[in-house]
Structure 1
Amino acid sequence: MFLPAAWAALRRWPLSTASVACLALFIGLHLLAARWSYSFVPYREWLGLAEEGRNHFDRLIHFLFGLLWTLPLAEAARRHAGYLAGKALLFAFLAVQSVSAVYEIFEWSLALLMAPESAEAYNGQQGDGFDAQKDMALALAGNILALATLSLVGRSKR
């Protein structure tokens, strides 16, 4: 159901190959996490690392949210909303940060309504009381890195 909807959206509102690749990579990593749950993706085993402490796969996803969604959002704002480059980048920044914050508030609200062990399993906080703040900071870091890269690429094209 998702693929036909995505195909129709891209035909109606086309994006560059780079933007589509960013979105596909992000969705692919979510599908990978759906197989194990974010807190249990065995990336350490795949990389031959010791299985100690927190599983950071969910943190990687938050960083990549900021990194990989910035280009498609900025490009969509330019192509389909008519924003100039600076405003398109600002839109992408604000959109990523807003979605990140709303998601963390949703997670927190859900945790309040669930039994503690169920909330821990769903949220993947893994005992970290500052998980939401760290997740938002990682999305911010990815967002800033993408914005800096896009700004440098834009300047080099002038």
Structure 2
Amino acid sequence: MTASALDNLEPIIAPTSVSVLPFDSSTSVSIWPLAPAWWVVIALTVIVILAGCAYWRVVYKHNQAKREAIILASTLNNEGAEHLQQLNMILKRLAAHYYGADKASCHSQQWCDFIHSACRVTITNEQLTHIYHPKVEHSHYTQVKQLLSQAIKRFNTRGAAHV
């Protein structure tokens, strides 16, 4: 008979005890080195985190003028028409910064339409004319002050072309 290549193999040794666990606790599989798929997952996670931080930074810088306008509007302590004029000027400065000087130079109904589209606040031309009266009734003053303050807080900076 001819010798087979299988004759050179070592005999199979049966285990001495059968373990209930699917793995033997004395020998464990090491987690290191990581498989290439894990390196891809880690790299993608780091890229997503860095991209999110970069996007947040751009949005934060983009909204800086709006935050400063809100702070400036809240620190005003004048009363009457001067206060309303200052709030309107802050709103016009926001419009000039985010939408350009052509939007900030609008007046009367065009300005009211811009405030409605950019701030989602409905203010009428009659309410805006109270800004320029030397004596403003208290009811008109509080109403226009509330509308202008609300317009500054709700000012839409998204999609502005002049940033």
TM-score, shorter chain, exceeding 0.5: no
Indicate the structure with greater helix content.
1
TM-score by length of 1: 0.31
